[in-house]
Amino acid sequence: AEHQHARYNPLRDDWVLVSAHRVKRPWQGQLEKPPPEDVPRWDPNNPLCPGATRANGEVNPQYEGTFVFPNDFPALQPDAPEPGDSDHPLFRAAAARGVCKVMCFHPWSDLTLPLMSLAEIRAVIDAWAELAVELGASYPWVQIFENKGAMMGCSNPHPHCQVWASSFLPNEACLEERTQRQHLSQHGVPMLLEYAEQEARRKERLVVENRDWLVVVPYWATWPYQTLLLPRRHVCRLQDLHEGERDSLASIMKRLLIKYDNLFEVSFPYSMGWHGAPTGPYLEEDCQHWQLHAHYYPPLLRSATVRKFMVGYEMLAQAQRDLTPEQAAERLRSLPEVHYKQRAE
């Protein structure tokens, strides 16, 4: 807790430098602006609102729950041409095809997941699973992710996420495919199933838990308040969750995200995403080494205005953090589970 040391991340097969004593240093760097509190519930100029016109001229329906539509500016398209042969091994290219979708969580722009009801969050989970099945029928990787807050590059305050399906396994998926397969081969148990059992017993990095799920600040966390959401039983893919697990997932997500918001009493920015066994052609293969999980990567470090920057040493050497995962977990764990905006109600 007081001296620098390195921790191994078995999921990524890399290391993070922990320098706990540095958290005491004064901050004279950039200060972020807190997110606006006066987001209108409906804005005809907001392209994600019901009834609004998007950039391509399409008009959104008057949706009342979740709403999924093709991304108007997709990073992946299904009919991209082959890049052609390379004339040198140092100048390789490969085909990259896919589809990109946007999913609105709710018709109101002034809501976020922690302020939504359990039934509304459960509807989001069901929509995620449906998309995972639909796109996973033909694509090997379906990446569900949410960028929340302008600090994480989100250009629209409306509650939404993105789903990108690709014809290839992205880098992070390839890493987790290799490390989880190797762990099962060497130890006879899925890595993250064993890890969840260990963290449930040790409790020092535990943030919240229920009968089906637990959230921890992982032992190898890079971001200050990074968390890992894990099922207690062996589950390969999001669509494999049964009804009770989906209900308890909605509950634990809400509890975690309320704690995030309560930490600095601000709508907490983060990037999150689901990782599970590959799909498409992998549906016919043995993927028992995989364990479903979600990563949450929030950038805030000391307050609503001071963030962690991944620069310098992190970009050129290896990841580094100032706050120990145990300290971060203790702070999150101790926070109330009633949202700060709703305490007076």
Is residue 22 marked as binding?
Answer: yes
**Rounded distance, CA 91 to CA 97, Å?**
20
Is residue 195 marked as binding?
Answer: no
Task: Please give the structure tokens belonging to residue 178.
Answer: 């290799």
**Rounded distance, CA 147 to CA 157, Å?**
10
230 falls within a domain:
yes
Under DSSP, the state recorded for 29 is S
For the cut 70, the answer to whether the pLDDT of residue 24 exceeds it is no
23 falls within a domain:
no
Q: What is the pLDDT of residues 222-262, one digit of tens each?
A: 999 999 999 999 999 999 999 999 999 999 999 999 999 99
Question: Maximum distance among all alpha carbons in the chain?
Answer: 67
Is residue 176 marked as binding?
Answer: yes
Mean pLDDT of the chain: 94
Amino acid (1-letter code) at residue 331: R
Q: What is the pLDDT of residues 189-218, one digit of tens each?
A: 999 999 999 999 999 999 999 999 999 999
201 falls within a domain:
yes
31 falls within a domain:
no
- The better pLDDT of the pair 311, 27 is held by 311
For the cut 60, the answer to whether the pLDDT of residue 56 exceeds it is yes
3 falls within a domain:
no
User: What's the pLDDT at 27?
Assistant: 62
Is residue 260 marked as binding?
Answer: no
Radius of gyration of the chain (CA): 20
What is the bridge-based pairing of β-strands 319-321 and 141-148? unpaired
User: What's the pLDDT at 28?
Assistant: 61
237 falls within a domain:
yes
User: Which residues does the annotation mark as catalytic?
Assistant: 160
| Number of structural domains found in the chain | 1
Average pLDDT score over residue span 63-74: 97
Rounded to two decimals, what is the model's pTM?
0.96
Is residue 308 marked as binding?
Answer: yes
Query: Exposed, middle or buried by CB within 10 Å (0-12, 13-18, 19+), for 20?
Result: middle
**Rounded distance, CA 163 to CA 100, Å?**
6
238 falls within a domain:
yes
Q: Residues with Cβ < 8 Å from 62, sequence gap 6 or more?
A: 50, 51
143 falls within a domain:
yes
**Rounded distance, CA 97 to CA 78, Å?**
5
Alpha-carbon dihedral of residues 287, 121, 155, 226, nearest 10 degrees? -60
**CATH number of the domain bearing residue 106:** 3.30.428.10
Is residue 153 marked as binding?
Answer: yes
Is residue 95 marked as binding?
Answer: no
Q: Whole domain around residue 126: which residue ranges?
A: 39-80+93-336
User: What's the pLDDT at 199?
Assistant: 98
